[in-house]
Amino acid sequence: MDSDILWSAMSGHISTFIANGGRYNAIFATEQFNDGMQTVLDGIETAHTVALADMPRFNESEGHGPTRAHPGDDYFDDLARHLVYEIYHRDFELF
């Protein structure tokens, strides 16, 4: 079976975290992000109240779902855009 290039990097981060004594208290699906994150927030003390429903998110359903609350550029600074371009520039040029 071919290795999965996307998940192999993630497994490296996770295994390093666990090998160094880290532990996960919660794992949840991103499709139910608010519910899962609320569970995490309920288990910790925060300096300020966190209203998950009021937080802007990058909406991947644009075009067949709700309209974005904010432009995609609001979520990424210049360095992040530059790094993404450096990594994926061949894909951008191809498509």
Helices vs strands, H then E, count in the chain:
3, 0
d(CA 24, CA 13): 13
pLDDT at residue 1 in the model: 47
pLDDT at residue 91 in the model: 85
Tokens 């966190």 locate to 50
d(CA 1, CA 35): 35
Averages of pLDDT over each 10 residues, the chain, 95 residues:
66 86 84 88 91 74 60 80 89 79
pLDDT at residue 10 in the model: 77
d(CA 74, CA 81): 11
pTM, full prediction: 0.46
